């Protein structure tokens, strides 16, 4: 199983390579030595990940060739936009027409879209976001693997099932060998080219130990590595970058300092943002975003969240629903503050956020369908991918540990073998005409 298509190096300009995919040209940053014009490579997140022999590449490309063009046709068909419906609301059509031409929308217009409830209007809004996704990102969809290496956490986030409030949770910390074995399987057996290593904020691993693990994964199983260990300090970020990590997954959760500080006891939004800004300066690709539906959050807050993700140079937006967990302090206050919301209404709220994110950052950002969104409904991934999203994350944590990374209950794919996740992902992507290439398209 392969989650990226090999490309042929056409041109090398300093540390940039131009890669050809069946005639489509894309750019990637090269940190590997010994890459020459004519070589075949795998690339992820804008980085060359590994070189591959011509023999192997040509046999993979032969399988892909026909499919590649068929997928493009399916995607084009599904992302066609018709804003010519005379019966539709004129002011909505006018806003979406400008959005489809990549013109900037005002805050009031974005808030209007975020407030939409009418299904016909929502459909047009989501189609506009999907049109923009296709226009700027073609049919590429990136699929990262995530390994949740530990559920120990020293933080007391009021909503999170693995925070230190939860005394009922069985804790685990994978050993270095277990992490290496999970990475090896993900890369060598299942073909992932990009891995996220995630944990609670767990001082049980020193930065040097994490650096060692990252170095060894990079050396043995070439892959693009994202880290997601919480606030590890600037020194920690630098050391892990030196070790080979190239991405940081860290949500700011909420751009509203009052909400942030109310739900993250003893922590500050300033410190979280400082980590994100410094990581970007160091050179990390940034995946960030927030939680949708935290008590007290307004539509304005959500819009600010999307703008903040853009301001932080998110190469990928990660916005997902807040899902209450019974063993958290929030469980006690949620029923009183929040009457239960239907899952379908929650899905709709999150999909609106994905669509707004695509409108705000149509050219650059990848937009993730989160596991939390999939947890609300099995159809949600498809809805997100048809409303501007173009990224997925599959869980490659060993099955024995997965149920204990219980940030919220009944997580999607919690006990699903990776083969099953891959099969259903590939079939979903195929049905939507998406291909697993993952590089900036040269238009």
DSSP 122-153: HHHHHHHHHHHHHHHHTTB-EEEEEEEEE---
Q: What is the Cα gyration radius of the chain?
A: 21
Burial 314-334 (b: 16+ CB within 10 A, else e): bbbbbbbbbbbbebbbbeeeb
Cα dihedral: 416, 420, 422, 428 (round 10):
-110
Q: Which of residues 81-140 bind ligand SAM (CB under 6 A)?
A: none
Q: Are strands 24-29 and 40-44 parallel, antiparallel or unpaired?
A: unpaired
Tokens 């050396």 — which residue? 219
Under the criterion CB under 6 A, does residue 152 sit at the interface with ligand SAM?
no
Nearer to ligand SAM among residue 125 and residue 405 (C-beta): 405
> Which span sits near ligand SAM by CB under 6 A: 72-80, 228-236, 277-285, 331-339?
228-236
> Which span sits near ligand SAM by CB under 6 A: 67-75, 106-114, 249-257, 355-363?
249-257
Under the criterion CB under 6 A, does residue 198 sit at the interface with ligand SAM?
yes
Nearer to ligand SAM among residue 126 and residue 408 (C-beta): 408
Under the criterion CB under 6 A, does residue 230 sit at the interface with ligand SAM?
yes
Which helix (DSSP H) or strand (DSSP E) does residue 52 occupy?
A: strand 47-52
Q: Which of 69, 191, 40 is nearest to 435 (CA)?
A: 69
Cβ 328 to ligand SAM shortest distance, Å: 7
Cβ 341 to ligand SAM shortest distance, Å: 13
Nearer to ligand SAM among residue 292 and residue 387 (C-beta): 292
Per-residue x/- marks for ligand SAM, 355-374, CB under 6 A?
-----------------x--
Under the criterion CB under 6 A, does residue 329 sit at the interface with ligand SAM?
no
Choose which of 320, 329, 433, 436 interacts with ligand SAM (CB under 6 A). Answer: 320
Please tell me the distance from the alpha carbon of residue 4 to that of residue 27, in angstroms, as a whole number. Answer: 15
Q: Output the CA torsion sign for 278, 312, 308, 429.
A: negative
Which helix (DSSP H) or strand (DSSP E) does residue 20 occupy?
A: strand 16-21
Nearer to ligand SAM among residue 125 and residue 401 (C-beta): 401
Please tell me the distance from the alpha carbon of residue 354 to that of residue 317, in angstroms, as a whole number. Answer: 8
Q: Which tokens go with 58?
A: 């040509």
Under the criterion CB under 6 A, does residue 250 sit at the interface with ligand SAM?
yes
Under the criterion CB under 6 A, does residue 407 sit at the interface with ligand SAM?
yes
Cβ 342 to ligand SAM shortest distance, Å: 17
Under the criterion CB under 6 A, does residue 291 sit at the interface with ligand SAM?
yes
Under the criterion CB under 6 A, does residue 159 sit at the interface with ligand SAM?
yes
Under the criterion CB under 6 A, does residue 325 sit at the interface with ligand SAM?
yes
Choose which of 41, 197, 213, 323 interacts with ligand SAM (CB under 6 A). Answer: 323
Please tell me the distance from the alpha carbon of residue 208 to that of residue 295, in angstroms, as a whole number. Answer: 38
Under the criterion CB under 6 A, does residue 225 sit at the interface with ligand SAM?
no
Nearer to ligand SAM among residue 32 and residue 234 (C-beta): 234
Cβ 413 to ligand SAM shortest distance, Å: 15
> Which span sits near ligand SAM by CB under 6 A: 33-41, 223-231, 332-340, 388-396?
223-231
Q: Where are the beta strands (DSSP E) in 106-250?
A: 142-150, 194-199, 224-228, 247-249
Nearer to ligand SAM among residue 39 and residue 148 (C-beta): 148
Strand partners, 286: 248, 314
Tokens 């409108």 — which residue? 359
Contacts to ligand SAM by CB under 6 A: 159-162, 198, 200-201, 228-230, 250-251, 253, 291, 320, 322-323, 325, 372, 407-408
């Amino acid at each position: 199983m392969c989650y990226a298509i090999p490309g042929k190096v056409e041109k090398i300009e300093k540390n940039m390579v131009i890669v050809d995919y069946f005639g489509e040209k894309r750019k990637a940053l090269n940190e590997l030595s010994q890459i020459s014009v004519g070589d075949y490579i795998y690339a992820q997140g804008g980085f060359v990940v590994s070189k591959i022999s011509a023999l192997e590449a040509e046999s993979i490309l032969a399988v892909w060739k026909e499919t590649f063009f068929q997928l493009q046709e399916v995607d084009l068909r599904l992302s066609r936009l018709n804003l010519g419906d005379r019966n539709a609301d004129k002011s909505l059509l006018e806003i979406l027409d400008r959005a489809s031409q990549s013109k900037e929308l005002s805050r009031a217009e974005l808030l209007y879209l975020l407030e939409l409830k009418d299904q016909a209007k929502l459909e047009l809004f989501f189609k506009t976001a999907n049109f923009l996704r296709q226009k700027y990102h073609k049919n590429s969809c990136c699929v990262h693997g995530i390994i949740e290496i530990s559920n120990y956490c020293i933080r007391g986030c009021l909503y999170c099932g693995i925070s230190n409030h939860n005394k009922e949770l069985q804790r685990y910390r994978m050993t270095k060998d277990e992490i290496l074995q999970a990475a090896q399987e993900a890369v060598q057996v299942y073909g992932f080219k990009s891995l996220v290593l995630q944990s609670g904020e767990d001082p049980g691993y020193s930065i040097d130990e994490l650096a060692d693990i990252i170095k060894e994964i990079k050396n043995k199983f070439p892959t693009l590595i994202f880290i997601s260990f919480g606030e590890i300090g600037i020194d920690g970020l630098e050391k892990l970058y030196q070790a080979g990590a190239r991405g940081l997954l860290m949500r700011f959760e909420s751009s509203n300092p009052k909400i942030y500080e109310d739900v993250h006891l003893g922590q500050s939004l300033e410190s979280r943002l400082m980590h994100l800004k410094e990581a970007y300066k160091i050179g990390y690709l940034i995946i960030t975003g927030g939680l949708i539906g935290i008590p007290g959050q307004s539509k304005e807050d959500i819009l600010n969240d999307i703008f903040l993700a853009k301001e932080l140079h998110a190469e990928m937006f990660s916005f997902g629903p807040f899902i209450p967990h019974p063993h958290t302090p929030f469980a006690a206050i949620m029923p009183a503050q929040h009457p239960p919301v239907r899952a379908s209404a929650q899905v709709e709220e999150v999909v609106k956020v994905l669509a707004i994110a695509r409108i705000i950052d149509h050219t650059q950002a990848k937009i993730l369908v989160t596991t939390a969104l999939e947890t609300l409904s099995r159809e949600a991934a498809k809805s997100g991918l048809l409303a501007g999203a173009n990224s997925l994350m599959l869980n490659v944590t060993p099955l024995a540990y997965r149920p204990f990374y219980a940030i919220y209950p009944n997580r999607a794919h919690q006990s699903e073998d990776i083969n099953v996740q891959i099969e259903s992902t590939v079939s979903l992507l195929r049905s939507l005409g998406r291909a697993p290439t993952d590089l900036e398209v040269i238009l």
